[in-house]
Chains A and B, each alone.
Chain A
Amino acid sequence: MANDTLPNWLIHHATTQPKRVALRYKKLGIWHEQSWQNLRGEVGQLVDILDGIGFRRDDTLVLLTHPRREALLLSLAAQWLGGVAAPLDPSLEANDVALLLRHLNPAFVFAEGQEQVDQTLASSRPDVRIIYAEARGLSAYPQATLQHYQRLLQDTPNASRAPLSEAAQIAFSLYRVNGERNVQVESFRHDELLKEGSHLVFAERLGRHEEALAARVFATSGHLRYLLSPWLVAGFTLNFPENIATRDADRRELGPTLVAGTRETYQRLESLVKARLPVPDSLAGRLVTYALRPDGSFLQRFLGHWLVKRPLRDVIGFSRIRVPLLIGPALPVESLNFFKSLGIHVRTWDKVANWHTLSTTTSRQVAPVRDAHSGKISKAS
């Protein structure tokens, strides 16, 4: 079997390193691990679940959730069946999410909890099949098409069938609303994503021992190219924080070696570190400035490393960082220099986005994902 699709890489790791940790996620304050073998088993169950609710080749599974391992596994299951995963950024305005849902008119949705289920029910077709992760508040919902992820898994035996996906098929489609309220799409084929991922793995010498943090949902091209794809190519461990609010504490506990952050991520981390620094004119402040000078003597650098840099790197969970990646817009030079002074050399990895405008209307009839590649669409200006 050629390693030319995302599911094939999952099978590869489940065969070659079955016991190694593929995912680590925090639930109720405790870190849990899932091996590649176990991951493949759960994705196999999800393949049967999706197939059972009518998901077919070229269908789209919309994912409306914050970062969760369930969304990642369902994406792989949808791709396994030759379908497309379409993660929507949950930080979008409610109006934008509604507009996107009306455009996509999805038949299959993974929703994180009650809020996302409500959004989906309000803006999708009546027979939309929804799998949800958090049952809170949903027990009284009458819709028979609503199903709980964990309960579905409990009711589905382990299964294993060959993936239907092909290298040239679309694996992910990302959607957004631009300034003119048009819906735009950017799609990624399996082979394109794997090529980008392999490039990063080679250039940054990523191996199986990396510990990466997935603090953001895979709803940006950068995170698909430079985190998800390298994870499957290199076979390292992907870590999910408990939730978005605990990500800084969880990063400190983990000490990841690979972080793929946006400009906002790094600026937030910079402010976290700066909040710990003493007043510049004080004695302690002058000592910190002295210790952080890059052109200092050996003793100065030695003391600076152990007494200042290392504790400050601990503050943001960068004590073991090896590959700090910046995805998207560039960081200001001062911020780059600040991280450099702490011994953190932030690298920018990005590629020009290729968004296509789908439509200027809000019709429910507009284009499923595959139409974006049938030549009927106009390129975004």
Chain B
Amino acid sequence: MAAIPLLELQDISLSFKGVKAINDISFTVGQGEICALIGPNGAGKSSLLNVINGVYQPDQGVIGFNGKSYRKMQSHQAAVHGIARTFQNIALFKGMSVLDNVLTGRNLKVKSSWIEQAFNIGRAPSDESTQRQKAEEIIDFLRINQWRNSIVGTLPYGLQKRVELARALAAEPRLLLLDEPMAGMNSEEKAEMSSFILDTQREFGTTVVLIEHDIGVVMDLSDHVVVLDYGKKVGDGTPDEVRKNPDVIAAYLGTKH
């Protein structure tokens, strides 16, 4: 595990109408690490991701991010601090082009005011070309140049997943949360997406927390694995350590779902 932590969860608990979704979970994610959250359906993985980026407010616990502690993290605050995410079900603007979708990821980086933009004066022209340049760099990085002007809704599922990753990366995040980025993909698409995630970590130094059900992919891709079961943490360590952990085998790896 990396020495400097970027994300530190301490005793996080979350319940919905009395049902405990997350129970006293603590773990640390180091800078530049790829951390996988695994566990059976209903284990609380997506809820935990939603706590990290402020969609849900935890009942108790503290979220530490980049050396600061937050009792509650608001969604907007998370984005400003450099946390971006993708969703289990694709949440793109389906009627817009790939480029326009990626540009929406640059929203927080825009420096010109709405008046400057409306009249294309002051900082607006240079701002626009800067945002376009950054969006194009991400489009090139994820090799989606040829679909730049295609309407997202017309693209195959695997490509839409890549566009969603592009939009998240356009925000230049320090922490990237990926909720099942390879769900519904064939093995070739999974390999491609895995290589993009690894490249993201290598080229931009981005820290990644991802949820994935394909154990083979998780073990190959991750530096660190956290295993959840019924809202509790049952394993935390390197892929090898987790693979040998009897609690994990009992809870997840040894059973069929």
Contacts and interface: CB of A to CB of B under 8 A. Distances in A.
B136 interface: yes
A245 B146 contact: yes
A242 B199 contact: no
B203 interface: yes
B136 A137 contact: no
Contacts of A333: none
Contact of B146 (A28, A136, A140, A246): A246
A29 B199 contact: no
Nearest to B132: A29
B202 A29 contact: no
Interface string B193-204: 000000100110
A337 B158 CA distance: 39
A139 B205 CA distance: 12
Contact of B136 (A29, A140, A243): A29
Interface string A60-95: 000000000000000000000000000000000000
Contacts of B136: 28-30
Interface in A163-208: none
Given A245-B145, A246-B145, A249-B146, A137 B202 contact: yes
B203 A29 contact: no
B133 interface: yes
B140 interface: yes
A122 B148 CA distance: 35
Interface in B187-222: 199, 202-203
Contacts of B240: none
Contacts of B137: 28
Contacts of B99: 29
Interface residues of B, number: 15
Contacts of A29: 99, 132, 136, 139, 145, 148
Interface residues of A, number: 12
A294 B203 CA distance: 57
Nearest to A243: B145
Interface centre among B99, B145, B148 (most CB of A within 10 A): B145
B87 to A, nearest CB: 26
A29 B134 CA distance: 11
Contacts of A28: 133, 136-137, 139-140
A242 B145 CA distance: 8
Contacts, number: 31
Contacts of B202: 137, 139-140
B133 A136 contact: no
A28 B131 CA distance: 12
Contacts of A245: 145-146
A136 B145 contact: no
B230 to A, nearest CB: 40
A140 B202 CA distance: 9
Nearest to A245: B146
Nearest to A135: B203
A245 B137 CA distance: 17
Contacts of B140: 28
B155 to A, nearest CB: 14
Contacts of B145: 29, 242-243, 245-246
Contacts of A246: 145-146, 148
Contacts of A249: 146, 149
Contacts of B132: 29
A323 B65 CA distance: 61
Given A28-B133, A28-B136, A136 B203 contact: yes
Contacts of A140: 202
A182 B141 CA distance: 38
Interface in B119-154: 132-133, 136-137, 139-141, 145-146, 148-149
A336 B27 CA distance: 67
Contacts of A243: 145-146
Interface in A4-60: 28-30
Nearest to B150: A249
Contacts of B141: 136
Nearest to B99: A29
B113 to A, nearest CB: 26
Contacts of A136: 141, 199, 203
Contacts of A139: 202-203
A245 B146 CA distance: 6
Closest 6 CB pairs of A and B: A28-B136, A245-B146, A29-B136, A246-B146, A246-B145, A242-B145
Interface of A: 28-30, 136-137, 139-140, 242-243, 245-246, 249
5 contacts: A28-B137, A29-B136, A136-B199, A136-B203, A249-B149
Given A136-B199, A137-B199, A139-B202, 8 more contacts: A29-B139, A29-B148, A30-B136, A137-B202, A137-B203, A140-B202, A245-B146, A246-B146
